[in-house]
Chains A and B, each alone.
Chain A
Amino acid sequence: MHALGWRVFRARLTPLLLCRRSVGAASRGVDSMSVEGTNGPACGRQKVLTLDSMNQRVKQVEYAVRGPIVLQAAAIEKELQQGIRKPFSEVIRANIGDAHAMGQKPITFIRQVLAICTYPQLLCDPNMPEDAKLRAKQILGACGGHSVGAYTASQGIETIRQSVAKYIERRDGGIPSNPDNIFLSTGASDAIVTTLKLLVSGEGRQRTGVMIPIPQYPLYSAAISDLGAVQVNYYLDEENCWALNISELQRALHQARQHCTPKVLCTINPGNPTGQVQSRQVIEEVIRFAAKEKLFLMADEVYQDNIYGEGCQFHSFKKILFEMGSQYSDVVELASFHSVSKCYMGECGYRGGYVEYVNLDPGVKAELMKLVSVRLCPPVSGQAVLGVITDPPQPGEPSYQTFLKEKTNVLSSLAERARLTEEVFRGAPGIRCNPVQGAMYSFPRIDIPPKAIEAAKAAGQAPDMFFCMKLLEETGICVVPGSGFGQAEGTYHFRMTILPPTDKLKVLLNKLKCFYETFTKRYA
């Protein structure tokens, strides 16, 4: 029986297929079809992998940024394509920090280097600038067989790790960085999950607790569920521009110690979704706290170039740690994460990133090497992007002016959009929004009328999910409810990116404001 076999079977078996579907949905696990007396056909036969038999930790994982609201957005998009009428003509995806998807143009120099690396014949192309060719040659020189198609060292290409180390040294005013402590990764997410994986151990009260800010970026809660660690929440102070408060850290830690062993403290600076930029003083306090309480510090610093607030400045945890002196810098274990997906590059699709470890136990480092080797290596083109941004065109090089101009344009335009967002929300009754000092999101707090809360409960939704679904269905704007990030009980928020082009963003913000008014009136 050959090519046509399945067709014949399918024709013969359509009724069975149909019955299987209906039975399957209703009664998982019941061998209901055996009543037919057939030995074979699988109708109703229980699958090996079912909701009950699957990994229960995976079941608990939640990731709101691509959750139900985004699935609904895709469904609506499809309807629009099919010509179904809606009160809007397109879905605006303000749910995810995806700059290029919102129209931001790639940095020319990055793409030139990458194209040459991919297709080295372009080294002879007169339209490619010399500095791009030089970078590409350096990268290719470090690749097996001079090809980006070869596996690299699992830790990442050594010359790129060296250039990352130099970048960190420049950023941190000369504090030394050792390329051996840098691991390139498949986006920052990969490095964060891997680091957490190292840290999870113990059972019962000995199980590793991971302290995360609330609101948080839900990668953290998802990874914690996936690894079966214990999530320990500390709340950022919304009234105080989402500041991190040491007494709150203390409270969270003490409470957690009654049921788990908190071992890790995660911070996100600049904040996602909250957009605050931590002051030097806060960082010092956090480091002191980690030292005192013996916590492993994870500093998510992927938005380090995205600083807009006046008087705000990015301080890396590493820099402050070293400035606090050797009693801290010899002791505190720190992992700092960066990515090519944010900042001025926005190259999310390349999945490039790195982690720098400080004071990682050498034995653990050997284990980490082994662990990352199982995945062979991070994607080489993502590594190459990282190589370019840590070794950008220098004054005097042919691409310098263009590069600088493109970079500045992106960052200043983002700053403008951050201000615009804040302004519009400030003028909206019922909406309160802290200044967007950094990162790429605003996270306004919204009052939801009690009637709407009731309606949400009736629909089995969190009130802010209810709000966001209505917003999506009525305006086409896709934002993520605060409940996906966590928020103080009884408060409601949503996260929207500030990435649409300024003109579009204005329209979007005003639409949102109007919708909120209608919404509150409807449920008044």
Chain B
Amino acid sequence: MYRLSAVTRRAAAGVCARHVGVEARPRLRPGGRDLAANLTTAGTASALQDSRVAPARNGDRVLNIGSLNPQVRATEYAVRGPIVIKAGEIEKELQQGAQKPFTEIIKANIGDAHAMGQQPITFLRQVVALCTCPELIDSPDFPADAKERAQRILQDCGGHSLGSYSASQGLYCIRQDVAKYVESRDGGVPVDPGNIYITTGASDGIMSVLKLLLSGEGRMRTGVMIPIPQYPLYSAAISELGAVQVNYYLDEENNWALDKSELRRSLNEAREYCYPKVLCIINPGNPTGQVQSRKCIEDVIRFAYEEKLFLLADEVYQENVYSEGCKFHSFKKVLYEMGPEYFNTVELVSFHSTSKGYTGECGFRGGYMEVINMDPEVKAHFEKLLSVRLCPPVPGQVAMDVVVNPPKPGEESYKTFKMEKMMVLQNLAEKAKLSEEVLNTIPGMQCNPLQGAMYAFPRIFIPAKAIKEAQASGMAPDMFYCMKLLEETGICVVPGSGFGQKEGTYHFRMTILLPIEKLKVLLQNVKDFHGKFVQKYA
């Protein structure tokens, strides 16, 4: 069924974009100039133009829905999609005093820890503040280890200022720290700072690498294999770049495990209509929360080796592992342990970020990627491409540095840092367990263990009547469900259709980031809502 769809879908998107554009434009313009828009679309602009010099009017703008880049039009990103826009509207209504069955919107749609009340790691902020305002070096309120870190970083900045551009690849001393961090994480597997690139959040790195990999037309067009369910950055990037999305399904019955035979199936089918070249893995899983076993990773690497696929390992949740018996294994480490046959061959990029883990510093847009076995000439082009954007934000680079080079035993800030870090991670582990437990008490809901990451992705059983009503209003059934949940409880979660799911199954993704007392209330509200919903559409 996916055989033709990806290609034709793309073609269809372009046509459909133009088609819908003509119909939808007037609807999208409430207010004064609408009339003109309606009239001019029909090409009867002259009456309005009079003696005016310019022929253009709203209806035939240079840039309109019809002339818009069709790849942009085809892009979708559910995490900030219609449900979140609706949440914003309701929030405004509440501010204006509108009466609702709830007093606030709870945004459980996005992994944004600080917005949910998580406190920043003190040491990280101290280092960034010192770099920002170096006069604070004299302040007795800052610990010596933070000052030492800040001075070292500023030493590496042009004019000793965070305000100068850094090298496009990132500040050298920070890349060195990343290299050391990866080395010690992976039990000594060597890292060349020359293979480390600091990025504007992990998303930026993922987009850049995908862009690099894209080529060919028709059957030779690059196919990108992604897990379903996936984090929709991938599908969005694939649409935006005009690549072909190749889905492989995670096994929900088996705790979202990745199955080699499913990889094989998906690859073989895709080879009939595109040229699959990239295999994306998210570990720990987003939205699915599973942590991959060592064996599973070996299987994937072997598969990539045999089938000549370029591996992208999204490992931004590497610190977020909660379940007993689960452990994070980096692709890089496993690759090296599999021997030279593999580690000299398999092309791999691994991504990390400041936004997740225990720091949750999303706003800084910090991240890095490590590039392994990239062809040196391609690498030169890659560096050129990155240089066009000049450099990643320098404060985000500094935040990244603290993540990879935290206070060490014996340093002044070590104890506080360690305590803060533990608190965050323990707390998340507790909330992961709580969410799983409560969601599984709800009849008609089923949730795999949250082994890692920051989300619960329960499967929900939606009654046939509700499915019918959803279809009547032109919504995916789980979108319908999430909209009702939002409107009736103020809880904002993202429907599974935004991540992809097996045909006929429905899910939603919610973050587990709320403070525990609030999370308990939220889970109870979800439970109550679900009961009522099922009854209503019984």
Q: Which of B64, B112, B339 contacts A363 (CB 8 A)?
A: B64
CA A96 to CA B77, docked complex, whole Å: 36
Are A101 and B52 closer than 8 Å at their CB atoms? no
B95 interface contact, C-beta 8 A: no
Q: Mark A74-96, 1 if CB is under 8 A from B, else 0.
A: 00000000000000000001001
Q: Mark B19-32, 1 if CB is under 8 A from A, else 0.
A: 00100110011000
Q: Which of A102, A112, A199, A373 contacts B159 (CB 8 A)?
A: A102
Are A349 and B364 closer than 8 Å at their CB atoms? no
B422 interface contact, C-beta 8 A: no
A338 interface contact, C-beta 8 A: no
A47 interface contact, C-beta 8 A: yes
CB distance from B141 to the nearest CB of A (A): 7
When A102-B159, A366-B28, A371-B72 are in contact, do A121 and B141 touch as well, CB less than 8 Å? yes
CA A376 to CA B110, docked complex, whole Å: 10
Are A379 and B365 closer than 8 Å at their CB atoms? yes
CB distance from A2 to the nearest CB of B (A): 6
Q: Mark B333-374, 1 if CB is under 8 A from A, else 0.
A: 000110111011101000000000001111111000000011
Contacting residues, chain A, for B443 (C-beta < 8 A): none
A98 interface contact, C-beta 8 A: yes
Contacting residues, chain A, for B384 (C-beta < 8 A): 61-63, 66-67
A332 interface contact, C-beta 8 A: yes
Are B310 and A48 closer than 8 Å at their CB atoms? yes
Within 8 A of A (CB), among B78-118: 79-81, 110, 112-118
Are B363 and A98 closer than 8 Å at their CB atoms? no
CB distance from B375 to the nearest CB of A (A): 5
Contacting residues, chain B, for A366 (C-beta < 8 A): 28
Are B163 and A150 closer than 8 Å at their CB atoms? no
Are A350 and B163 closer than 8 Å at their CB atoms? yes
Contacting residues, chain A, for B120 (C-beta < 8 A): 147, 149
Contacting residues, chain B, for A150 (C-beta < 8 A): 112-115, 362-363
A360 interface contact, C-beta 8 A: yes
Q: Which of B199-207, B253-261, B487-495 participates in binding chain A?
A: B199-207
CB distance from B112 to the nearest CB of A (A): 5
CA A48 to CA B305, docked complex, whole Å: 10
Q: Which of B132, B344, B388 contacts A111 (CB 8 A)?
A: B132
Q: Mark A50-65, 1 if CB is under 8 A from B, else 0.
A: 1101111011011101
CA A98 to CA B118, docked complex, whole Å: 36
B538 interface contact, C-beta 8 A: no
CA A104 to CA B163, docked complex, whole Å: 10
CA A103 to CA B360, docked complex, whole Å: 34
B129 interface contact, C-beta 8 A: yes
Q: Which of B185-193, B262-270, B502-510, B527-535 participates in binding chain A?
A: B185-193
Q: Which of B81, B337, B363 contacts A143 (CB 8 A)?
A: B363
CB distance from B40 to the nearest CB of A (A): 11
CA A269 to CA B242, docked complex, whole Å: 34
When A53-B277, A201-B67, A294-B62 are in contact, do A349 and B166 touch as well, CB less than 8 Å? yes
CA A63 to CA B391, docked complex, whole Å: 13
CB distance from A189 to the nearest CB of B (A): 6
When A199-B69, A373-B77 are in contact, do A3 and B203 touch as well, CB less than 8 Å? no
Q: Which of A200, A330, A371 contacts B75 (CB 8 A)?
A: A371
Q: Which of A38-46, A230-238, A273-281, A308-316 participates in binding chain B?
A: A38-46
CB distance from A114 to the nearest CB of B (A): 5
Are B53 and A291 closer than 8 Å at their CB atoms? yes
A144 interface contact, C-beta 8 A: yes
Q: Which of A8-16, A247-255, A455-463 participates in binding chain B?
A: A8-16
The chain A residue sitting closest to B60, CB to CB, is A294
Contacting residues, chain A, for B68 (C-beta < 8 A): 198, 201, 364, 367
CA A7 to CA B187, docked complex, whole Å: 11
Q: Which of A20, A288, A360 contacts B63 (CB 8 A)?
A: A360
Are A63 and B363 closer than 8 Å at their CB atoms? no
Are B395 and A381 closer than 8 Å at their CB atoms? yes
Are B164 and A350 closer than 8 Å at their CB atoms? no
Are A362 and B28 closer than 8 Å at their CB atoms? yes
Are A152 and B363 closer than 8 Å at their CB atoms? yes
Are B65 and A363 closer than 8 Å at their CB atoms? yes
Q: Which of A218-226, A392-400, A407-415, A469-477 participates in binding chain B?
A: A218-226
Within 8 A of A (CB), among B46-74: 52-58, 60-65, 67-70, 72-73
Give the total number of A-B pairs whose CB atoms are below 8 A apart: 369
When A62-B384, A380-B364 are in contact, do A51 and B377 touch as well, CB less than 8 Å? yes
When A101-B161, A106-B161, A118-B128 are in contact, do A367 and B72 touch as well, CB less than 8 Å? yes
Are A119 and B388 closer than 8 Å at their CB atoms? no
Contacting residues, chain A, for B62 (C-beta < 8 A): 199, 263-264, 294-296, 333
Contacting residues, chain A, for B110 (C-beta < 8 A): 151
Are B161 and A367 closer than 8 Å at their CB atoms? no
CB distance from B514 to the nearest CB of A (A): 11
Are A151 and B214 closer than 8 Å at their CB atoms? no
Q: Which of B2-10, B174-182, B232-240, B429-437 participates in binding chain A?
A: B232-240
Are B388 and A201 closer than 8 Å at their CB atoms? no
CA A283 to CA B519, docked complex, whole Å: 57
Are B25 and A361 closer than 8 Å at their CB atoms? yes
Q: Mark A350-393, 1 if CB is under 8 A from B, else 0.
A: 11000000011111101110110111111111100000000000
CA A41 to CA B374, docked complex, whole Å: 17
CA A24 to CA B344, docked complex, whole Å: 12
B450 interface contact, C-beta 8 A: no
The chain B residue sitting closest to A348, CB to CB, is B165
Are A294 and B56 closer than 8 Å at their CB atoms? yes
Are A13 and B344 closer than 8 Å at their CB atoms? yes
A346 interface contact, C-beta 8 A: yes
A327 interface contact, C-beta 8 A: yes
Are A98 and B158 closer than 8 Å at their CB atoms? yes
Contacting residues, chain B, for A327 (C-beta < 8 A): 52-54
CA A200 to CA B213, docked complex, whole Å: 21
B387 interface contact, C-beta 8 A: yes
B423 interface contact, C-beta 8 A: no
CB distance from A289 to the nearest CB of B (A): 11
A507 interface contact, C-beta 8 A: no
CB distance from A109 to the nearest CB of B (A): 11
CB distance from A464 to the nearest CB of B (A): 19
Q: Which of A48, A96, A100 contacts B161 (CB 8 A)?
A: A100
Are A114 and B132 closer than 8 Å at their CB atoms? yes
CB distance from A208 to the nearest CB of B (A): 8
CB distance from B199 to the nearest CB of A (A): 11
Q: Which of A16, A119, A292, A351 contacts B126 (CB 8 A)?
A: A119
Are A367 and B388 closer than 8 Å at their CB atoms? no
A497 interface contact, C-beta 8 A: no
B133 interface contact, C-beta 8 A: yes
The chain A residue sitting closest to B233, CB to CB, is A374
Chain B residues within 8 Å of A, Cβ to Cβ:
21, 24-25, 28-29, 33, 52-58, 60-65, 67-70, 72-73, 75-77, 79-81, 110, 112-118, 120, 125-126, 128-129, 132-133, 136, 139, 141, 157-159, 161-166, 168, 187-190, 200-201, 203-204, 207, 211-215, 233, 236-237, 240, 277-278, 308-310, 336-337, 339-341, 343-345, 347, 359-365, 373-378, 381-382, 384-385, 387-396
Q: What are 26 A-B residue pairs whose CB atoms fall within 8 Å in the complex? A: A2-B187, A48-B310, A98-B165, A99-B164, A100-B164, A101-B157, A119-B126, A145-B116, A149-B362, A186-B389, A201-B67, A201-B68, A263-B62, A291-B54, A349-B395, A350-B393, A359-B58, A361-B64, A362-B29, A363-B28, A364-B65, A373-B77, A374-B233, A379-B200, A381-B364, A381-B395
Instruction: Give 11 new A-B contacts, CB below 8 A, not counting A118-B129, A186-B393, A294-B55.
Output: A1-B337, A48-B277, A49-B378, A53-B277, A143-B363, A149-B113, A264-B62, A333-B61, A361-B63, A376-B203, A381-B132
In the complex, the 9 A-B pairs of residues with the closest C-beta atoms, listed nearest first: A101-B158, A144-B115, A42-B345, A349-B394, A380-B363, A373-B80, A119-B129, A115-B133, A100-B161
